[in-house]
Amino acid sequence: MAPTEAPSETTPMALLPTASWSGNTHVRNLRTVRVMWQRELIRLSRSPVGLLMSLLTPLMFLMVLGTGLNSAMRTAGNDADFRSYFLPGMLLMVVQAPALNTGVSIVWDRRAGFLREMLVAPVRRSALIAGICLGGATAATAYGALVLGIAGVLGVTYDPLLFAPVLMELLVTTLALTALGALAAVSIKRIETFQAVVGISMMPLLFLSGALFPVSGLPGWLNGAVLANPLTYAVDAMRRTLSDAGTGGGPRWWGWQPPIAMEMAFVGALALVALATAARRFSRID
169-196: per-residue pLDDT in tens? 999 999 999 999 999 988 888 888 888 8
Q: For the chain, what is the HEC assignment?
A: CCCCCCCCCCCCCCCCCCCCCCCCHHHHHHHHHHHHHHHHHHHHHCCHHHHHHHHHHHHHHHHHHHHHHHHHHHHCCCCCCHHHHHHHHHHHHHHHHHHHHHHHHHHHHHHHCHHHHHHCCCCCHHHHHHHHHHHHHHHHHHHHHHHHHHHHHCCCCCCHHHHHHHHHHHHHHHHHHHHHHHHHHHHCCCHHHHHHHHHHHHHHHHHCCCCCCCHHHCCHHHHHHHHHCHHHHHHHHHHHHHCCCCCCCCCCECCECCCHHHHHHHHHHHHHHHHHHHHHHHCCCC
- The residue type found at 284 is R
Looking at residue 107, what is its pLDDT? 86
CA angle in degrees (0–180, nearest 5) for 16-18-22: 110
CA 19, CA 208: separation in Å to the nearest integer?
48
pLDDT in tens, the chain (286 residues): 444 445 544 544 555 555 444 457 778 888 888 988 998 888 777 777 777 777 787 777 777 776 676 666 555 455 567 778 888 888 998 898 888 878 888 888 888 777 777 777 777 888 889 999 999 999 999 989 998 988 888 778 888 888 999 999 999 999 999 999 999 988 888 888 888 888 888 888 888 898 888 888 788 888 899 999 999 999 999 999 987 555 567 788 888 889 999 999 999 999 999 999 998 888 777 6
Distance, CA of 267 to CA of 62 (rounded, Å) = 25
pLDDT of 286 reads 62
Which residues lie closer than 8 Å to 45 by C-beta, 6 or more apart? none
